[in-house]
Amino acid sequence: MSEQEPPLYTTHEERGAKFTPFGGWAMPVEFDSIRTEHEAVRESAGIFDVSHMGEIEVSGPDAATLLQGLTTNDVESLSVGRAQYSTITNEEGVILDDTVIYRLAEEEFLFIPNAGHDGEMEERWVEHRAEWDLDCAVENRTDEWAMFAIQGPDAAALVSKAAGEGLRDLSRFSITRAEVAGTECLFARTGYTGEDGYEALVPWDGAEGVWEEFDCQPCGLGARDTLRIEAGFLLSGQDFHSEENPRNPYEARVGFTVDLDTEFVGRDALARVDENGPEELFVGIRLEERGIPRQCYEIRADGEPVGEVTSGTMSPTLGEPIGLGYVPTDYAEEGTEVAVRIRGTDKRARIEAPGFLGDR
Amino acid sequence: MSFEVPEDLYYLASHEWIDPETGRVGISEFAQDELGDVVFVELPNEGEDLTQEEEFGVVESIKAVSDLYSPASGTVTAVNEALFDRPELVNDDPFGEGWMLELDVADDLDGVLSAAEYREQIE
């Protein structure tokens, strides 16, 4: 299958980027070095091309009702100009995808499925609109919107310089329109790095001009991954997958996205999990011996396998090997001694909360 | 981008090099560039016997894990312990300070690529 290229593919290629296939897209994985890019975001700022993320617009009189029925959070409570993190679950309460929903107007929403999920989500929305006999439009705009993330302690200064001083005070999880290089964009105070920052939705045609307005380190998906692992953020398809690693929001520690006072697909199953408590929990793991925990490595306790690492790396910020994964709740308490089996040897490790940088 | 391929070394298709004079082994500049930031190296102990193309260790970058293969049969006479604390030497100086081990080579060096043959493979 040929991969879709983001609008700035050639620009990135000329800049020396290495590419990786991701969710059906060929995306830059590294421009200079993952370490350099990672440090830029933690210490100053970096810009990521995340045009592989999906964009689906839902508008019309019943737009809020459709989103309410298909996502776990309370969409009705979302004010215009605000954003909400949410999950999309099936009847069993298993996460199909996680997403951010933006309310652009009273009857106009935009939500961001993960790379490669936009088609499936569009289909799900269209099917349920028909089933529930709702009046709204569902438009998949993935090929029309580029998306950039400008992240790091200097992001507010960079974005306000490029898009107007008003952007400096945009509150977290808010979205507004702003013009950059003659292109009208949407800027949201959201991100996936654990730093302050913005995500910009940019019409495909204006992508190049907007990208060039940001004089900071270009970053690839490699640094995005190390940054989000340090922050303990889930990666769709890896830290949860509806078939290969089915997880509900409580297990994945995103139970805060579930509002059981609303009616949505998967609500009853999740109410049962809420009542009984999840059997397993998403945890952070810090290795105490040399080695790196990687996806699919066994997590062991008392000499027995108890879980698997879902993501892992050498943390560039901490200089220590860290990972994420699931263990039975009995082993999920912080400080619990476990082991990660690396090439046949058990390496000592300790359970932590999934945000490795704490309140830094 | 063109990579340094020293003429006096021999290579495996899997990107390890060996110096026929000293028996020193490492990975090529091309390989370290492909890997990106090297953050961990696992090497054998001194005195271990290796056979040609046998796995002798692992090099891990932030993004990937790669096995290391021995370019020759022989006995390990030294390992570069500096890499345990400073694995980035593999990136900074792959043919110098980033060496990995030294072998007392058992036989003649057959089954390896010349610099010209290896250059052809990576270009």
The pLDDT score that the predictor gives to residue B2 is: 85
CATH architecture of B10-117: Beta Barrel (2.40)
Tokens of B41: 């190296």
* Chain B residue with the nearest C-alpha to that of A32: B36
Identify whether residues A111 and A167 lie together within a single domain: no
Q: Are the CB atoms for A345 and A259 separated by under 8 Å? A: no
Collapsing DSSP to helix, strand or coil, A276 comes out as: helix
Identify whether residues A117 and A217 lie together within a single domain: no
DSSP H or E segment with residue A83: strand A83-89
Measure CB to CB from residue B63 to each of A16, A222, A290 and give the nearest one. A222
Identify whether residues A290 and A328 lie together within a single domain: yes
- Give the burial class of A360: count Cβ atoms within 10 A of its Cβ; 0-12 exposed, 13-18 middle, 19 or more buried: exposed
**Alpha helix positions (H), chain B:** 29-35, 82-85, 89-92, 115-122
Identify whether residues A167 and A225 lie together within a single domain: yes
Residue type, B119: R
- The residue among A322, A325, A309 whose CA lies nearest residue A356 is A322
Which sign, positive or negative, has the C-alpha torsion A200, A222, A19, B33? positive
Average pLDDT over residues B60-78: 96
Which residues of chain B neighbour A222 with C-beta distances below 8 Å? 36, 62-63
Q: Are the CB atoms for A307 and A328 separated by under 8 Å? A: yes
pTM: 0.95
Q: Are the CB atoms for A125 and A70 separated by under 8 Å? A: yes
Any bridge partners for residue B26, and if so which? B17
Identify whether residues A133 and A35 lie together within a single domain: no
**Alpha helix positions (H), chain A:** 9-14, 34-43, 63-70, 118-131, 155-163, 207-212, 221-231, 267-276
Question: Does A314 sit within 8 Å of B39, measured CB to CB?
Answer: yes
The pLDDT score that the predictor gives to residue B93 is: 98
Name the more confident of B10 and B123. Answer: B10
The pLDDT score that the predictor gives to residue A108 is: 98
Task: Report the C-alpha gap between B98 and B21 in whole angstroms.
Answer: 17
pLDDT band at B123 (very low <50, low <70, confident <90, very high): confident
Best of A37, A292, A296, A345 to mutate (most B CBs within 10 Å, chain B): A292
Range of the domain at A116: 56-140
The pLDDT score that the predictor gives to residue A206 is: 97
The pLDDT score that the predictor gives to residue A330 is: 96
Transcribe A311-352 into DSSP letters.
EEEE-TTTSSEEEEEEEEGGG-STT-EEEEEETTEEEEEEEE
Identify whether residues A156 and A183 lie together within a single domain: yes
Task: Report the C-alpha gap between B70 and B67 in whole angstroms.
Answer: 10
Q: Which residues of A are annotated as a binding site?
A: 199
Residue A246 lies in a domain: no
Residue type, A51: S
Which residues of chain A neighbour B61 with C-beta distances below 8 Å? 34
Identify whether residues A14 and A41 lie together within a single domain: yes
The pLDDT score that the predictor gives to residue A267 is: 98
Measure CB to CB from residue B36 to each of A16, A222, A291 and give the nearest one. A222
Which sign, positive or negative, has the C-alpha torsion A312, A317, A321, A325? negative
Measure CB to CB from residue A33 to each of B1, B36, B42 and give the nearest one. B36
Task: Report the C-alpha gap between A285 and A351 in whole angstroms.
Answer: 5
- The residue among A258, A221, A240, A224 whose CA lies nearest residue A324 is A240
pLDDT band at B107 (very low <50, low <70, confident <90, very high): confident
Identify whether residues A62 and A16 lie together within a single domain: no
Per the structure, the count of domains in chain A is 3
The pLDDT score that the predictor gives to residue A169 is: 95
Identify whether residues A209 and A272 lie together within a single domain: no
Q: How far, CA to CA in Å, does A223 sit from each of A218, A226, A302, B21?
A: 10, 5, 34, 40
Which residues of chain A neighbour B37 with C-beta distances below 8 Å? 33-35, 316
Q: Digits of tens for pLDDT over chain A (360 positions)?
A: 579 999 999 999 999 999 999 999 999 999 999 999 999 999 999 999 999 999 999 999 999 999 999 999 999 999 999 999 999 999 999 999 999 999 999 999 999 999 999 999 999 999 999 999 999 999 999 999 999 999 999 999 999 999 999 999 999 999 999 999 999 999 999 999 999 999 999 999 999 999 999 999 999 999 999 999 999 999 999 999 999 999 999 999 999 999 999 999 999 999 999 999 999 999 999 999 999 999 999 999 999 999 999 999 999 999 999 999 999 999 999 999 999 999 999 999 999 999 999 866
- The residue among A27, A340, A287 whose CA lies nearest residue B39 is A287
List Cβ neighbours of A8 (8 Å cut-off, separation of 6 or more).
A49, A51, A146, A207, A208, A211
Identify whether residues A136 and A197 lie together within a single domain: no
Question: Does B62 sit within 8 Å of A343, measured CB to CB?
Answer: no
- Convert A60-73 to b/e letters by CB count within 10 Å (16 or more is b): bebbbbbbbbbbbb
At residue B72, does pLDDT exceed 70?
A: yes
* Chain B residue with the nearest C-alpha to that of A319: B39
pLDDT band at B1 (very low <50, low <70, confident <90, very high): low
Task: Report the C-alpha gap between B114 and B6 in whole angstroms.
Answer: 10
Residue A223 lies in a domain: yes
CATH number for the domain that contains residue A34: 3.30.1360.120
Identify whether residues A204 and A312 lie together within a single domain: no
Identify whether residues A151 and A35 lie together within a single domain: yes
Question: Does A33 sit within 8 Å of B63, measured CB to CB?
Answer: no
For chain B, the 3-state helix, strand and coil shares in percent, each to the nearest 5, are: 20, 35, 50
Residue type, A293: P
Measure CB to CB from residue B62 to each of A16, A226, A291 and give the nearest one. A226
* Chain B residue with the nearest C-alpha to that of A313: B62
- Cα–Cα–Cα angle for B93, B98, B101, rounded to 5 degrees: 150
Beta strands in A152-297 (DSSP E): 175-180, 183-188, 197-203, 217-219, 280-287
Any bridge partners for residue A24, and if so which? none
Tokens of A256: 């805060």
**Alpha helix positions (H), A33-101:** 34-43, 63-70
Q: Dihedral (C-alpha) B23, B25, B30, B36: value to the nearest 10 degrees?
A: -160
Collapsing DSSP to helix, strand or coil, B69 comes out as: strand
Task: Report the C-alpha gap between A6 and A175 in whole angstroms.
Answer: 23
* Chain A residue with the nearest C-alpha to that of B60: A292
